[in-house]
Structure 1
Amino acid sequence: MSDQHVLRLPAIEISQGSRRIYTFAVDGKVIHDFAAVSRVHRDESGLDGYQRPEVLTHVRAIRRYLESDGAMLPNAIVFAFDDRVSFRATGPSNGHAVVGELNIPVDRLLSEGQRPALIVDGQQRSAAIRDSELDVFPVAAVGFIASGLEDQRAQFILVNNTKPLPKGLIHELLPDTTGELPVAYARRKLPAQLMMRLNTDGDSPFQGRISMPTAPDGYIKDNSVLRMIENSLYEGALYQYRDPVTGGGDIEAMVTHIKIFWQQVALLWEDDWCLPPRRSRLTHGVGIRSMGYVMDELTEGKAVDELKNDFVFRSALQRLTHVVAWSEGNWGFADDDTPRWNSLQNSPNDVRRLTTFLLGVCRQRVAELALQFPGESNANS
């Protein structure tokens, strides 16, 4: 068979509202001639791809099964096609489905990223078939023609919604995903957008520090940052920028608000901010979440322009430098409660203990400033 040809496959086109899906059979050994695995990565233009890397042990296990007697793969492999793929009706229709021919262009000279199909579900099965010693292995397949990369991402998340996808991968995909999503994912889309900006903006204290599939060297857990942002969005300082009707909001103001506060944190505790969680409780989940509550306490109701010159929250944070034990020593929660710095964990109880302690110190400092600067609510100087 030549390097360039059209794969003509008997198929059924099924109408689902305004969308069309195609069911067909294809030899698994030729899948990678026309389809690619879009592995998630980030380049200068932003996020690209959406698949997790092949799990080699799983692929090998599937391959061993396929090469055994009586092997069967009943689950369909799902493809997202671009507009180079076409369907031609050739047979009868019952109003919901029509028999025809699916035409997929094949060009073995194209790079993986230029192929007309992406594997949305079945990455490891297709890899196992590709690597097996079998000459041919037909599989069931389902395909749809995507309107763009955002459509492919949305379908990928929905198809894999009941499977244990890595949460970090979902968090990184959500900001650029369109269409209807499960409620739990829809609620996290805005926080994920903010987190992505924090991890990629050049002026962000979090830049490159949040662990994600495209930032494997990050040492701050993405889920800790998400929970900090979510609390602030729904109950704290970022609530003022939200649109309760649409669920969106002023993203630029939100991102800037977070940056202003955490830039001060990174400045005051520069060494602790550069250490991984096992060596610093500031970058640990317990520190990120507790300092998030401090951000809400000190900056709630203060818009970005006001916050830039606000003296109160900076002074309160400065006071904390005398009592924190991020990477050494003991916490002085009470006379009979002085845990070692690294004994605090990202548990509800420890987050509550640390938050209560930090807020107590901050509130005392804010009260002192109110006495020193009566009539000036922000005590600007």
Structure 2
Amino acid sequence: MTSSDEIVVRALRTTQGDNLDVYALFIRGSDLVQIADISRLSREDSSPLKGFQRPEIKSHVKGITEYLNQGNVLFPNAIILALSPDLRFVAARGSKPTGDAGLSQAGTLTIPIREEGMRSAWIVDGQQRSLALAKAANSDLPVPVIGFVSDSLTTQREQFILVNKAKPLPTRLINELLPETGSILLPRELSARKAPAELCGLLSRDPNSPFHKLIKRSSEQNSKAVITDTAVITMIRNSISNPLGALAPYTSSTDGAANVESMYNLLMTFWRAVRETFPEAWALESKSSRLMHSAGIIAMGVLMDRIYAKIGGQHETYEAVLQELAKVAPYCAWTSGQWPMINVQWNEIQSTPQDIKALQETLIRLYMTSAHQ
């Protein structure tokens, strides 16, 4: 319940650390910024450091707000607050349930509402989410909150660091999990990653795919796998995001939805042709073949875009792709020799932005030069 000067909610209370009270509760998303201040990190001249929170990340807040506005969404991520000692908790009366371990006490928590800068709580973790919840269309969404009672800035900073130094999920694990999220509407930055990750998974699993069992996946221990999934995903994402990319026409300009089937057919056609054009360099460890190297996969993706810009994007163009690849094949140094124009030995190509760019430009120049011969 919310009145003009306080919020009253059901809560569970326990103690941790140096006998600090810790509460678990639910409140409306829009009420978070009414009870909690954001303690921004700042320092003026030689004065002591103030606060601990980073600046608002507008793109992050916008992405979360868009997710929240998509309807019946799940939002179980708890906001962590540091609570002022001036709040009031009244324990519920009555006997405890049979078997209760006695770890917490149920009751009613009253939190005062005050002006900004004078509020009864500070956001320790969940600043961007709290700002998004305040802007979301559904202001009544119940949001889980964990609050510990402490007006000590040192304690608040310690908790902020502990929460935020946790190792994030590895990119490869996220990439593999994304296609399994079903129809859930994800924030924009994840949706953009979902189609490439799904295509990568299909290319790895399909027995008819030239990449079958060749892509390293976090969930698989496959001795035959020689290509990192991040390289394949980057190659696909680059083509989708480039307005002139081979895969770009299969992405909706309004909502970013991808025609995965059409994209898959095109990728199958191109990479089957690559395998046929360079059989001696296919399915080898990257140390033996730079075609299987991240640099080779990403650079060939750029050549794919250029080839399809010339021949069109219909998946019946397998023979046409073979003809175009044949124009650069004699000059490629995937497993031996030296790359022309840049005079680099085949095994000196590394997964650095500079080497990938140099290899991309070399392939394009070779292709364009051969087209005029």
Task: Please identify the structure whose Cα radius of gyration is greater.
Answer: 2
The answer as to whether partners of 1:312 and 1:366 remain within 8 angstroms in 2 is no
State the alpha-carbon separation in 2 of the partners of residues 231 and 323 from structure 1: 24
State the alpha-carbon separation in 2 of the partners of residues 232 and 329 from structure 1: 29
Which residue is equivalent to 1:272? 281
The answer as to whether partners of 1:195 and 1:225 remain within 8 angstroms in 2 is yes
Deviation at 1:309, TM superposition (A): 3.1
Which residue is equivalent to 1:316? 324
Aligned pair 1:191/2:196, yes or no?
A: yes
The answer as to whether partners of 1:315 and 1:365 remain within 8 angstroms in 2 is no
State the alpha-carbon separation in 1 of the partners of residues 235 and 107 from structure 2: 56
Superposition pairs of residues 99-110 of structure 1, within 5 angstroms: none
The answer as to whether partners of 1:224 and 1:285 remain within 8 angstroms in 2 is yes
Deviation at 1:261, TM superposition (A): 0.2
Superposition pairs of residues 1-381 of structure 1, within 5 angstroms: 14=26, 163-177=167-181, 179=184, 181=186, 183-217=188-222, 218-235=225-242, 236-300=245-309, 304=313, 306-309=314-317, 311-333=319-341, 337-368=342-373
Q: 1:269 to 1:301 in 2, by over 3 A?
A: closer
Counterpart residue identity of residue 322, structure 2: R
Question: SS at 1:322's partner residue?
Answer: helix
Using structure 1 for the length normalisation, give the TM-score: 0.52
Deviation at 1:307, TM superposition (A): 4.0
Deviation at 1:161, TM superposition (A): 11
**Which whole-Å deviations, capped at 9, do the CAs of 1:6-47 have from their partners, x for residues lacking one?**
xxxx99773667xxxxxxxxxxxxxxxxxxxxxxxxxxxxxx
State the alpha-carbon separation in 1 of the partners of residues 353 and 165 from structure 2: 27
Counterpart residue identity of residue 228, structure 2: K
Deviation at 1:316, TM superposition (A): 2.1
Deviation at 1:362, TM superposition (A): 1.6
- Name structure 2 gaps, 5 residues minimum: 1-13, 15-22, 30-104, 112-145, 147-162
State the alpha-carbon separation in 2 of the partners of residues 179 and 162 from structure 1: 26
The answer as to whether partners of 1:241 and 1:254 remain within 8 angstroms in 2 is yes
Q: 1:318 to 1:301 in 2, by over 3 A?
A: closer
Q: 1:345 to 1:232 in 2, by over 3 A?
A: same
Counterpart residue identity of residue 318, structure 1: A
Which residue is equivalent to 1:135? none
What is the root-mean-square deviation in Å for CA atoms of aligned residues? 3.2
Equivalent pairs, count: 225
Question: SS at 1:203's partner residue?
Answer: coil
Deviation at 1:196, TM superposition (A): 1.1
State the alpha-carbon separation in 1 of the partners of residues 229 and 289 from structure 2: 16
Deviates more, 1:357-366 or 1:195-204: 357-366
Using structure 2 for the length normalisation, give the TM-score: 0.53
State the alpha-carbon separation in 2 of the partners of residues 185 and 348 from structure 1: 23
Which residue is equivalent to 2:73? none
State the alpha-carbon separation in 2 of the partners of residues 12 and 164 from structure 1: 24
- Name structure 1 gaps, 5 residues minimum: 1-9, 18-89, 97-141, 143-158, 369-381
Counterpart residue identity of residue 324, structure 2: A
Counterpart residue identity of residue 301, structure 2: G
The answer as to whether partners of 1:268 and 1:321 remain within 8 angstroms in 2 is yes
Deviation at 1:179, TM superposition (A): 4.1
Q: 1:309 to 1:190 in 2, by over 3 A?
A: closer
State the alpha-carbon separation in 2 of the partners of residues 288 and 223 from structure 1: 10
The answer as to whether partners of 1:268 and 1:318 remain within 8 angstroms in 2 is yes
Q: 1:303 to 1:250 in 2, by over 3 A?
A: farther
State the alpha-carbon separation in 2 of the partners of residues 160 and 301 from structure 1: 48
State the alpha-carbon separation in 2 of the partners of residues 211 and 283 from structure 1: 12
Deviation at 1:365, TM superposition (A): 3.4
Deviation at 1:285, TM superposition (A): 0.9
Question: SS at 2:26's partner residue?
Answer: strand
State the alpha-carbon separation in 1 of the partners of residues 292 and 209 from structure 2: 15
Deviation at 1:300, TM superposition (A): 3.0
Counterpart residue identity of residue 359, structure 1: I
State the alpha-carbon separation in 2 of the partners of residues 161 and 324 from structure 1: 45
